[in-house]
Structure 1
Amino acid sequence: MEEEVVLDQGDAAAVTLESAVFVFSLFDTGALLFLLVYYVITLSDLECDYLNAQQCCDRLNLWVIPKLVAHLILSLVFLLTGHYYLFLGSLPLAAFLLREYLKVPTGNFGVYDPTEIHRLGQLKTHMRDAVIGLAYYLVFFFIYLYCLLTHLLRTNQVPKPDYADDTGL
């Protein structure tokens, strides 16, 4: 006897919404990982004098708002879809990114200012923040991957094989 698992339309829509949320979170986090690798490489190029401060800061300031928006959208998606633990996990970094963006003094070019990046160890601070963000997104990438896989295994149950007809040959 074979048992069929039949989902009604409401369950099927919920399955695709959950899957879409986790797939989106993987793509968003993957893009942010690549962006933070770019940040680390650019800051290390400045540290080694392969770039001047103006070029480095122009390149990094270009991506400050997209990084913030991508993280805030991800946090909002978790909040709206009822993934409150994942939302709470993304909240500290969202607050840090907002604080970093809003605390830019007037007169500066952006979060990364070429006239101040070499003062008071700001280069080391920016490098530290980029590496911490990279570690954060790497950990959460695997958390989202785990959530996606457990969700897919829970919803798409594979029927157990019937060994009654097996003759052993």
Structure 2
Amino acid sequence: MDAAVCILSLIDCCALIFLAVYFIITLSDLECDYINARACCSKLNKWVIPEMVCQCLSTVLMLVSTHWFIFLLNLPVAAWDIYRLYTIRFFGTDQQKTVTDHRSDHKMEECVYLNDLFIYCIYLCT
């Protein structure tokens, strides 16, 4: 059971890292004016809910399998994703002012996901 949870969490974490990198690249394209704000928002909006579901899935898996330390590490990020879902959606408005803020948020999330990946790999080896 523990190995299956850990392998599923590793796969989930790799998907989250991919999504964080995708968000950073898309926001960088917006900042450099390679794409317009409406195209950027439509690209990013369709991945907000899958990102939240993946993060919450990993958090719930750790809760169900009683890995409290990893659950407590994932809980703030899951709470942030749920908060961001209801408050900070990427709409087709003037996002240029907040592009740097959004990009720094996703860089922070990428660091958290890389940390989780490292913890899951260590947990899988033990």
TM-score using structure 1 length: 0.73
* Structure 2 letter corresponding to 1:126: H
Match of 1:117 in 2: 95
* Greater CA drift, 94-103 or 57-66: 94-103
Match of 2:73 in 1: 89
Instruction: Report the alpha carbon displacement of residue 95 of structure 1 after superposing the two structures with TM.
Output: 0.9
Match of 1:148 in 2: 124
Q: Structure 1 stretches (4+) deviating beyond 4 angstroms? A: none
1:89-119 residue CA offsets vs partner (Å, 9 max, x unmatched): 0001011111111225xxxxxx11221312x
* Structure 2 letter corresponding to 1:75: T
Does residue 1:139 correspond to 2:115, yes or no? yes
> In 1, Cα distance between the equivalents of 2:86 and 2:26?
23
SS in 2 for 1:113: coil
Contact 2:17 2:114 in 1 (8 A): yes
Share of identical aligned residues, percent? 40
Match of 2:10 in 1: 26
Larger radius of gyration: 1
Aligned residues: 126
> In 2, Cα distance between the equivalents of 1:25 and 1:49?
36
Match of 1:68 in 2: 52
Instruction: Report the alpha carbon displacement of residue 77 of structure 1 after superposing the two structures with TM.
Output: 0.7
Which protein has the bigger helix share? 2
> In 2, Cα distance between the equivalents of 1:116 and 1:48?
14
Q: Kindly report which structure 2 residues correspond to 1:6-21, keeping only aligned pairs within 5 A, or say none.
A: 17-21=1-5
